[in-house]
Amino acid sequence: MVNRGRIEIMADILGLCTKPQVKTRIMYHANITFRQFDLYATLLRSHDLLINEANRYRATDKGLQFINAFSQLQNAIDGSDSRILSANRLIEVRQRLKTSSFGP
């Protein structure tokens, strides 16, 4: 399993906030801690991507544009992801063969 990057976590948070959500629901579904949520919420609010209304967080229009752009980018690279994963898997197998007792 590959760790998510900052952009992916921000997209997850914004994706959950297309409708107003409470903090704990966002944390649970985005699989982040309280501290991480506070850091990302502050960052997203500073860029006008997320707003807090009556203790519920909602993506702004700019935040919804971010989600759409992220989805388009993700869809554009999905075809190449399988080749990258295959190449990484091949490298991993080669390294294991080199360190095993039956490798060259």
Model pLDDT for residues 72-85, shown as the tens digit of each residue: 888 777 755 555 55
Distance, CA of 88 to CA of 24 (rounded, Å): 36
pLDDT category at 4 given cuts 50, 70, 90 is confident
4 — phi, psi (to 5°)?
Answer: -80, 150
Topology classification of domain 6-78: Arc Repressor Mutant, subunit A (1.10.10)
pTM exceeds 0.75: no
SS3 state at 60: coil
Up-side HSE of residue 67: CA atoms within 13 Å toward CB? 16
Token pair listed for 33? 């801690």
Answer for the pair 49, 65: CB distance below 8 angstroms, yes or no: no
Residue range 30-50: mean pLDDT, rounded: 97
Distance, CA of 24 to CA of 86 (rounded, Å): 37
Residue 30, pLDDT > 90, answer yes
